[in-house]
Structure 1
């Protein structure tokens, strides 16, 4: 009996163990894995806002045949685009030049209104553009961190400036003394469980297009090398989805629409071509153009300027690998046919009240529209008018015989009819001062030859005439004077003597070598005068009504 019962127990145990083994085996049988669903992420992007709180005027206020822009409508459009996808984690980003070269409503308060408005609109991250350096790196840090202006104090002591509610990123602007980035080079944001890295940078050539005091103590490094460095650093942290916010851009060939990429040319093409494969999307800017491209397998976009477009970028990310598996983009017009945002409307009204009546003061009159439309020579009516105004302000007191204006310093057209101080300020918003200096005739010739190296045609005063030889050859960056493009320079009807000395007026930006005109810092006997906008308003008042100047000062031969 005992032997039987032991055998039975042994049998039962054996059977039990076998059943357990079968169960365990069933548990470890390989099953077909189910991939997690892709994560959809929306990015909304803009660039080159330039403090345009209110809708831009004239041709600057249109895009794609539609009246566009104005932060009241921009904020509404951003909200509507976010609501389309019905997700709470949309990120709004920007590619630089949010401030600087701004209309009076923002510029009068050191662009604090623009920063506040963009924060209200939900901006999360932005790269630093060249114009963020217009008032220097200390001022840029104040704009980011808050505090009253060191000279002008708080616009409203009862409502001190608290800083940007978004983060500026600056990967390739380094403090010379320390070798460290001026601002964080990148940021990582988690959206629906996936991590996305954003690298922010401006163009390497910033020192050539910003007043020298603005970039003092800073070094600017190569865009592609810098982006690749920080992309690799983020990959080491497990971030595989990477977006670059790049303040550098390109231009489509004629006829390209806001969502086209027709023979895109410009620095952005080379920069993007040197990016590592880790970078998925590039939000670009600087050229104020609209385009929607795929370059080297990555989406590259630009939303024109002044808040007239928003780029809607849709990413699909594999949550297992963190990689972007699909990216699509579209540029959307910020039309004025939507309800204006109430908070933005209130903000604009607040700063309008602070600004007071100076903005509406009538300073002159134009007999017709005076625009920045370029003639084949490169002259523009408004550029020529500005040069005339600067000469008129310095001919008697400083003995100037000619003046030249950089085309990028003329920022808005003038409509026909009365011209207010605000409109004049919008034409010349940089706060530059007139500088009158001595150039030899040989240096003057070199200055004009250098236009064809820098690819920026200076706007001449009415006293200047010369011919551009289309068969001539430009000089080089190392020796601009070697060019043979310019011939027959006259001032006041008399040929320029290479050995003579001529008093020439330019603005302080050009006098410091801005836009790459390296001849001007070698001039002598420079005298700094009044503000450029004061010269313009005085000229408008003295010649009322002023007519659009002819663009016949440069002849193509």
Structure 2
């Protein structure tokens, strides 16, 4: 059942209670002489995406003189050291996450079905994780294997290639993810109790995915699941956690926002995004919300009309480049939360060469040494896949960038290159047009100085192993599909087309009527004619809110998207990066 209104809460409460993790007992009696506040440290991450090795990305910080410095950050071994340091700071501690720890991962993790990502997080000491959308990429049966262990095969790839897989030591939480029998896929809540100078203090956790997972994951991977409203689910569970003895309630949710603070990893100016209406709908009793999904970093005090005190909202960006240090202070007599604060800590790792020069270490952020045990574990997988990562797959005429933050809803040169490769791979099946979704393009493609590109780079761009689908659509349906990306119903996204298709749009026009022109080979697309159109299977199944593609007929599967891109690059000595504008905004 998908919960839409609060009128259905009594049923939801009854069904969710059975799914709550078994609570630990709590001694409410303070020890004699306890007077000072008692603190608990919550160490939080999100959107790790199997980033076993440093992702060669910087966290920008602004110095006292106003200058911007990029800090090299990330890598599981460095993250482990940062977490260990925070554990030393907080004798009472718990390590938690807000989802997307696996999926869209580095090759050294993804080729092994993210078993090494789970192994690394086990070694880091993670205890609770809210299920994100990418955790469902390989289907929920495979996600259950990540929790429980074993070598049962659910995908094309063979599990347990390097070692037996024991599963995650941490607990997945999925309060709003429901199976057909009404139970939740994983427990809805967890509780951790700390023995302190003031007696036992308990912190309760609610973990949940974003409601729009079905638009972000292939329907086949979600068969038999439904996703309830986030705020209503939280509101139903807060009283139960309090009744079970939770002195504080922390929500781990794979939904988030963005801010205007791009050079302050803890800044919160101009917070906006889908997390905001969820926070506004909470009915009180929540102390902290650890968020994710947007890959943004922030720590905020967010006030709602239902809560006497502000909610502490946090996010640690992406790829383990940051870890959030959260401190909760409790009254020693009543165990009420009397203080809360958070700061994002940069996981400074090793220098690297970037397109704009070398990114060096700096004293403006703490330095961490890689934790030897985690570094050794990661190296085993990285060494095994090194040959595949470094394999040359062709040359490019220059960088193929993913659109920057101001145009992240468009495909840019790289989106156009991918669309061209997909049309090239399927012309023999009658394809006339190809589209790709910009949000499925994970990173820019920057060749070496001689133009060469490796398979590891292609995999970083397209890590989902999506299949291409050739399907029949009318001109009217194609027009409607493009309009879906421009309308006000959901997140806006301009489909990246193959070179023979061009369109213009005006965002100042009414929703659903924004497409101004649409041509194929220079001629207007006939709304009554039929065309063979190539997309990946994610789009074909209605992903990213493109429902129009589900109405297409005569669908034929046509190989993997990454194979199409590799073939496109190897077909010529040097593949030119598209530099023309195919989707042009003319107003709005």
Give TM-score scaled by structure 2 length.
0.84
The answer to whether the 8 A contact 2:59-2:346 is kept is no
The residue that corresponds to 2:85 in the other structure is 80
SS at match of 1:525: strand
Pair 1:91 & 2:98 matched: no
Preserved contact between residue 126 and residue 245 of structure 1 (Cα < 8 Å): yes
CA contact under 8 A between 2:410 and 2:438: conserved in structure 1? Answer: no
**Cα separation, 2, equivalents of 1:263 and 1:62:** 19
Aligned to 2:23: none
2:412 aligns with one of 362, 365, 380: 380
Contact 2:440 2:462 in 1 (8 A): yes
SS at match of 1:434: strand
Structure 1 distance, partners of 2:115, 2:219, is: 23
1:164 correspondence with 2:168: yes
What residue number does 2:495 align with? Answer: 458
Tell whether 2:107 aligns with 1:70: no
Q: Considering only CA atoms, is the larger Rg found in Structure 1 or Structure 2?
A: 1
Q: Aligned equivalents of 1:467 and 1:163: distance in 2?
A: 49
Q: State how 1:64-143 maps to structure 2 within 5 Å.
A: 64=61, 65-83=70-88, 85=89, 87-143=90-146
Residue number in structure 2 paired with 1:498? 527
Distance 1:318 1:365 in 2: 63
Task: Determine helix, strand or coil for the equivalent of 1:392.
Answer: helix
Consecutive unaligned residues in structure 1, runs of 5 or more = 1-32, 475-482
More helix by share: 1
Report deviation, 1:229.
1.2
Native 8 Å contact 2:50 2:106 kept in 1: yes
Aligned counterpart, 2:17: none
Aligned mates of 2:152, 2:453 — CA distance in 1: 30
Q: In the alignment, which of 318, 322, 336 is matched to residue 309 of structure 1? A: 322
Q: Is the 8 A contact 1:256 1:262 kept in 2?
A: no
Residues 551 and 240 (structure 1), Cα distance of their counterparts in 2 relative to 1, 3 Å cut: farther
Give the alignment of 1:353-392 within 5 angstroms: 353-355=383-385, 357-374=387-404, 378-392=410-424
Aligned residue number for residue 30 of structure 1 = none
Contact 1:68-1:334 within 8 A present in 2 as well: yes
Cα offset, 1:37, TM superposition: 2.7
1:421 aligns to what?
455
- The change in CA–CA distance for 1:214 and 1:413 in structure 2 (over 3 A counts) is same
| Number of equivalenced pairs | 510
Partner of 1:23: none
Residue 282 of structure 1 aligns to a residue whose secondary structure is strand
1:126 partner SS: strand
2-structure distance, mates of 1:204, 1:551: 37
Q: Judging changes above 3 Å, is the alpha-carbon distance between structure 1 residues 551 and 274 closer, same or farther for their aligned structure 2 residues?
A: farther
Alpha-carbon RMSD: 1.8
- Match status 1:539 vs 2:568: yes
Question: Retained in 2: the 8 A contact 1:384–1:459?
Answer: yes
Alignment of 1:2-401 (within 5 A): 36-57=35-56, 60-64=57-61, 65-83=70-88, 85=89, 87-150=90-153, 152-156=157-161, 159-176=163-180, 178-191=181-194, 192=196, 193-253=200-260, 255=262, 257-296=264-303, 297-336=310-349, 337-355=367-385, 357-374=387-404, 378-395=410-427, 397-401=428-432
Contact 2:261–2:268, Cα closer than 8 Å, also in 1 = no
Identify which of 399, 403, 410 aligns with 2:441: 410
Structure 1 residues 154 and 101: alpha-carbon distance in aligned structure 2, compared to 1, 3 A threshold: closer
Report if aligned partners of 1:366, 1:414 keep a CA contact under 8 Å in 2. no
Tell me how far apart the structure 2 counterparts of residues 76 and 35 of structure 1 sit (CA, whole Å). Answer: 32
Of the structure 1 ranges 317-326 and 291-300, higher mean CA displacement relative to structure 2 is found in: 317-326
